[in-house]
């Protein structure tokens, strides 16, 4: 969408990128490329480092949201978690939603290796 809108007659001066899981990885990669106008990044349930995010992009405000019951993200090793954090701006804020798991963040069905959520979908969406 960024490429389409940035080459059209529509003027967009500021971008906020967001993504969940693999979509969050794509958002991090785009932000790291320093596309003009990207000012904020919100990613949810992303636990792996972007191999494409090699340069610093500290001028972007970033927020990472994870669920306490997300075993896909929380099951990563300390080394994997540090590698992920090193691909983000130094000022990144991290928020945990207690009781939320990976699949329920976007209303997926149950996923192998994921934890069991302990809050309702409605409660989770209210918190988010």
For 44-72, write each residue's pLDDT tens digit: 988 776 665 555 677 889 999 999 998 88
Which tokens hold the place of 114? 């994921």
Q: Residue 85 pLDDT more than 90?
A: no
Count of residues making up the chain: 128
For 22-35, write each residue's pLDDT tens digit: 888 888 888 877 66
Contact 24, 3 (CB under 8 A): no
Write down the residue that tokens 């990563």 correspond to: 76
What is the pTM for the complete model shown?
0.81
Task: Report the 10 Å Cβ neighbour count for 122.
Answer: 8
Higher confidence at residue 33 or residue 115?
Answer: 115
Is residue 68 helix, strand or coil?
Answer: coil
Higher confidence at residue 86 or residue 107?
Answer: 86
Q: Residue 1 pLDDT more than 80?
A: no
User: Which is it for the CA torsion 18, 23, 28, 30, positive or negative?
Assistant: negative
């Amino acid at each position: 969408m960024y490429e389409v809108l940035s080459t059209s007659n529509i003027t967009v001066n500021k971008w906020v990128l967001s993504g969940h899981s693999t979509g969050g990885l794509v958002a991090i990669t785009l932000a790291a490329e320093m596309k003009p106008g990207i000012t904020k990044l919100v990613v949810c349930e992303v636990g792996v480092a972007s191999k494409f995010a090699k340069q610093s992009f500290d001028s972007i405000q970033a927020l990472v949201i994870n669920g306490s019951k997300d075993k896909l993200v929380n099951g990563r090793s300390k080394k994997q978690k540090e590698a992920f954090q090193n691909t983000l701006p130094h000022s990144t804020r991290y928020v945990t939603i207690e009781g939320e798991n990976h699949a329920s963040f976007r209303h997926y069905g149950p996923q192998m290796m994921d934890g069991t959520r302990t809050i309702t979908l409605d409660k989770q969406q209210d918190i988010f």
